[in-house]
């Protein structure tokens, strides 16, 4: 009779490695320059350096105009007064 020796499977160690989140890269999305603590996160979800932080400099797909219009509609509802009854 040969003793059965169970060896740890490599699939378990691979699963644990894939569960750990990878560290976020601190590089500009446009020019790939390292930004460190001075990076700017845009509403489109990307990180940019000081030169590309504005939406017109990095061709931002986020629709600022539609968001502003929705915010104005929400904060300023249309108020309709009741009709006045004449005597």
CA distance 25 to 85: 68
Domain ranges of the chain: 24-71
Q: Which of 55, 51, 56 minimizes the C-alpha distance to 39?
A: 51
Q: Residues 2-50: pLDDT tens digits?
A: 555 555 555 555 555 556 565 667 899 989 999 988 899 999 999 999 9
Q: How far apart, in whole angstroms, are the C-alpha atoms of residue 42 and residue 30?
A: 12
pTM over 0.75: no
Whether residue 44 contacts residue 60, with contact meaning beta carbons closer than 8 Å, is answered with yes
| 77's tokens | 């509802």
Domain 24-71 in CATH 4.10.1110.10: yes
Q: Which two tokens stand for residue 67?
A: 């968001």
Q: Which two tokens stand for residue 65?
A: 């105009």
């Amino acid at each position: 009779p040969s003793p059965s020796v169970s060896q740890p499977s490599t699939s378990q160690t691979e699963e644990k490695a894939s569960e750990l989140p990878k560290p976020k890269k601190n590089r500009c999305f446009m020019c790939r320059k390292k930004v460190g603590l001075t990076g700017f996160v845009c509403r489109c979800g990307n990180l940019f350096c000081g030169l590309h932080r504005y939406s017109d400099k990095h061709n931002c797909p986020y629709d600022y105009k539609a968001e502003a219009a929705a915010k104005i509609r929400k904060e300023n509802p249309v108020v309709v007064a009741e009709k006045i009854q004449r005597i």
